[in-house]
């Protein structure tokens, strides 16, 4: 009897493992991003690490690495942004740590990411920017979230994000 029970258990486990495997593997995030599926590539959690000057070798204008902003882009067209708490932020005391949520859209032809805040502090307004994104990095062609920062020294300021959880 023990042998029959043991054999049945082994067969059940074998069937379970076979049922879970698939002949088709889901396309990786890097593949989606490389294949030009930017909309899918945007989905996830991002940390804003800096505002950089794209005209000057991407030198850092405002460093948020000690308290980065966090952007969550959801597949359903909503986003949540938590403002940077780094002391280097001009908005550290007024908006630092506050959240704003809203809707986002993406135009693949123009590579434009647009946001419209609907809930939260009035620290982000409706705006759009050209976006560059891959599996690990994302930049907006102008400040889109941390718009009140002192960026006068930059000739071409961009917001730089790193995907959270991807090394």
Tens digits of residue pLDDT in 41-80: 999 999 999 999 999 999 999 999 999 999 999 999 999 9
CA atoms within 13 A of residue 80's CA, in its CB half-sphere: 8
In the chain, the N- to C-terminal Cα span, in Å, equals 51
> Whole-angstrom Cα distance, residue 37 to residue 100?
26
Q: Where are the domains of the chain?
A: 25-163
Count of C-beta atoms within a 10 Å radius of residue 105: 12
What's the pTM? 0.79
| pLDDT tens figures, 25-37 | 666 777 768 766 6
Indicate the class that CATH gives domain 25-163: mainly beta
């Amino acid at each position: 009897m023990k042998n029959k029970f043991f054999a049945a258990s082994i067969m059940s486990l074998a069937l379970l493992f076979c049922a879970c495997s698939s002949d088709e593997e889901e396309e990786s995030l890097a593949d989606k991003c490389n294949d030009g599926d930017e909309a899918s590539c945007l989905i996830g959690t991002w940390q804003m690490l800096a505002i950089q000057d794209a005209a000057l070798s991407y030198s850092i204008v405002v460093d948020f690495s000690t308290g980065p902003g966090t952007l969550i882009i959801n597949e359903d067209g909503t986003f949540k942004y938590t403002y940077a708490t780094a002391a280097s932020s001009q908005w550290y005391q007024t908006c630092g740590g506050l959240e704003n949520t809203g809707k986002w859209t993406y135009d693949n032809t123009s590579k434009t990411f647009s946001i419209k805040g609907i809930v939260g502090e009035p620290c982000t307004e409706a705006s759009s920017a050209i976006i560059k994104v891959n599996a690990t990095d994302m930049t907006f062609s102008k400040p889109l979230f941390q718009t009140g920062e002192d960026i006068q020294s930059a000739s071409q300021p961009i917001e730089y994000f790193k995907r959270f959880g991807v090394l």
